[in-house]
Amino acid sequence: MRKRTLQPAILALALTPTMIGADPQTTPWINMYGNPGGLIDMPTAEVAQDARLVTGLSYFGGTTKTALTFQVTPKLSGSFRYSALNGFDAGPRYTLPSYYDRSFDLHYQLFEETRYRPAIALGLRDLLGTGLYEGEYIVATKSIGKKLRLTGGLGWGRLGSHNTATTFGTRPSELLGGGGIPNYDRWFRGPMAPFAGISYQHNARLSFAAEYSSDAYLRENGDMFAVKSPVNLGINYKLNNTVQFGAAYMYGSTFGLNVAITLDPKSAPVIGGNDPAPQPVALRKKTAIADLGWTFEADQKAQITKALANALAREGIKLEGLKLAATKAEIMIHNERYDIDSQAIGRTMRVMSRVLPASVATFTVTQSSRGMPTGSVALARADLEALENAPASAILQRASFSAQSRARDFEIAQGRFPRLAWSFGPLVKLSAFDPDSPVRADLVAHLEGQYHISPGWVASGAFTYKLGGNLDGLPEGRTGFVAVDPAYPVRSDARLYASGSGPKIDHLTLARYGRLSDNLYSRVTVGYLEQMYAGASGELLWKPVNSRLAIGAELNYVAQRDYDQQFGTRGYKIATGHISAYYDLGNGFHTQLDAGRYLAGDWGVTTSLDREFGNGWRIGAYVTKTNLSSESFGEGSFDKGIRITVPMSWAIGSATKRSAPLTIQSLTRDGGARLNVNGRLYQSIRSSHGADMAKTWGRFWR
């Protein structure tokens, strides 16, 4: 009965926003589990600085742990861990020399530290894994002065296995096969034991720790290393704000080492950036504002258009269309350089102030995605002149956002259509968590191009040639503790698509994008849609320009492609589709819900939650559950993953639209598999709308 009362309480606490003025007890240190904390193997009530992303690598006693930890909110952190245990006995079903295990943790700081009260936190280790590292805890940490911190707590599961104080009900002890299912029937049940620790911050770079562990390492003791003492001693050294090292003497018999790399999505490594300064706003002479003489000169409009196009091109912005009148001007642009749209708008309006005649009093800039107008921003020219040196928030109050323009409203700039954009270079394709080889990769030569035929019409293609790698060594069908999936192999035969060198057609499509009304957008794509499927895909999206909510619908009919990725197809054909809801939760959090039919014919729902930052960083997770059973799905039980997008502009300090996306998920499975189509509407449109533009408006004057 205890678990029934704790589970909703934990969920409620995780969703409770941080109190205004709260100051969570933070730490720069990472322990052997990859969690924030100043001790060694035991948890503390400390948290990392908000939004910190940490990759940790540790080794001791034959176990290597690789962890990724994100401070989701000031009080809530989540950790994904991949462990390799050399010589671990996992039973007769697992005969490899190393046992590989995935696990996921949550840590929530219930109360911040006050003058008399310690910080108090609640944690769940391995709540979605096999149960190898499962353990729950409640822990308190109190500062004594500025350098010393004392920690004490109570643990269950692994953390209740040494010097047990009492027992709360019964707790299953066997491993959970392929894992992936929340093991809530074990939370805060079974033996409970105390743990404690002390940490001393010598200076900004060096700290020491000692702890009394409540983990007896029952499964590892003897086969992997000997547990002779519950006392661990450790030292941490911070090389800089990014890299830290740790060393410890553990359990009276072995040494442990760890290293952690910390990234802060909120702070760029290049302060101020490397972009050239924008041109200043040109101030008009009062006597010139009423001069409309230019409107009577036949060649003036053509000259203005040419000058505007040339000036914008120097900023990395393409002029696609112009609608010019005596007192107002609207231009349609294609932003090729700036990953933050507000920066592109700001630079465009500065250029307009320098090129357009003084009588033009209102500027409107409409952004274009694949030749389709999306969002528009309008400003009075006088406001632009008066507020250039004011905070960006001042000009935001004067801006007007809309989405009423159509491509037919503009005179298309000369030379914009048709046009070709292409790129060529190396590309690495990754696969993780294969039990035979935790990381597999192929290096390919990658040629990609887009041919913009006319507004809204785009032909796109990508071609690869394998230079080397081992993705073709992926296991056949399912691996782990279950038989091969009885569902049709819509994704799990990835190794066959990775076989051979090529050349291969990654995708080859023709797409039509359009605006059906102010709030309704459309896309139709036909051809070889992705590496494994060819066919047709259609999409509708309802997205008001100032709304946090968007609704989409997608319908696809596809055939599975031949393994050589040339022009042939196989016998498997299927209709798939989803209804999608997108909602901006505020405070940088965004959620998406997709419900429909997947590639294996299974029906279900995908839920995702992302934290998004004004500089383009995105960190989130998704879960897909369909009517395909856990037994049929195989190891992992259902589809889930972590996804991270790092904007290259953040890393190099110069404006670019390139990014480095990374998805961390289990082995490719057939359940919950969705078609991969380039150019889906929502991400193409939302950044130019007012609801999103306001978040990044600080870049307007950059």
Q: DSSP of 292-347, one letter per residue?
A: -GGGG-TTHHHHHHHHHHHHHHTTTEEEEEEEE-SSEEEEEEEESS-SSHHHHHHH
Region 434-461: what's the mean pLDDT? 88
Give yes or no for residue 159 having a pLDDT over 90.
Answer: yes
pLDDT in tens, 528-570: 999 999 999 999 999 999 999 999 999 999 999 999 999 999 9
Tell me the three-class secondary structure of 206-265, residue by residue: EEEEEEECCCCCCCCECCCECCCCCEEEEEEEECCCCEEEEEEEECCCEEEEEEEEEECC
> How would residue 434 be classed by pLDDT, with cut points 50, 70 and 90?
low
The whole-angstrom distance between residue 455's C-alpha and the CA centroid of its chain comes to 31
Give Cβ neighbours of residue 347 (< 8 Å, ≥ 6 apart).
278, 279, 315, 317, 338
* Residue 632 in this model has a pLDDT that exceeds 80: no
**CA 129 – CA 348 distance, rounded (Å):** 51
- Checking if the pLDDT of 154 tops 80, the result is yes
**pTM for this prediction:** 0.89
Q: What is the pLDDT of residue 3?
A: 36
Q: 2: phi > 0 → left, psi -120 to 50 → alpha, else beta; which?
A: alpha
Residue 471, token pair as written in the block: 């993705």
Chain segment 201-210, per-residue pLDDT in tens: 999 999 999 9
pLDDT in tens, 245-277: 999 999 999 999 999 999 999 988 877 678 888
Q: Classify residue 124 as exposed, middle or buried by CB count within 10 Å of its CB (0-12, 13-18, 19+).
A: buried
Residue 46 has pLDDT above 80, yes or no: yes
Strand order, beta sheet including 400-402: 400-402, 372-380, 362-369, 328-335, 317-324, 411-412
Q: Which residue has the tokens 């797409």?
A: 511
> How many angstroms separate the CA atoms of 126 and 442, rounded?
31
Judge residue 552's burial from the number of C-beta atoms within 10 Å of its C-beta, 0-12 exposed, 13-18 middle, 19 or more buried.
buried
When pLDDT is cut at 50, 70 and 90, the band that residue 511 belongs to is: very high
Cis, bond preceding 17 (omega within 30 deg of 0)? no
Average pLDDT, the chain: 89
Domain with CATH 2.40.160.40 in the chain: 2-263
Q: Tell me which of 1.10.3720.10, 2.40.160.40, 3.40.50.170, 1.10.340.30 is the CATH number of domain 2-263.
A: 2.40.160.40
Task: Report pLDDT digits (tens) over 568-588.
Answer: 999 999 999 999 999 999 999
138, two tokens: 């409640």
pLDDT tens-digit map of 349-389? 999 999 999 999 999 999 999 989 999 999 999 999 999 99
The pLDDT tens digits for 130-142 are: 889 999 999 999 9
Residue with tokens 């598999």: 673
- Give the other-Cβ count within 10 Å of 132's Cβ: 20
Beta-bridged to residue 99, according to DSSP, are 85
Q: What are phi and psi of 526, to 5 degrees?
A: -130, 150
Peptide bond preceding 357: is omega within 30 degrees of 0, i.e. cis? no
Residue 8, pLDDT > 60, answer no
In tens, the pLDDT along 585-630 reads: 999 999 999 999 999 999 999 999 999 998 899 999 999 999 987 7
Residue 324 is predicted with a pLDDT of 94
Would you say 537 and 675 are in contact if contact means Cβ atoms under 8 Å apart?
Answer: yes
Q: CA 694 to CA 699: how far, in whole Å? A: 10
Is the pLDDT at 101 greater than 90? The verdict is no
Q: Is the pLDDT of residue 664 over 50?
A: yes
Q: What local confidence, expressed as pLDDT, does residue 436 receive?
A: 62
% of the chain surpassing 70 pLDDT: 91
- Given a cut of 50, whether residue 187 has pLDDT beyond it is yes
HSE-CB for 59 with a 13 A CA cutoff:
4
Q: How far is 154 from 161, CA to CA, in rounded Å?
A: 11
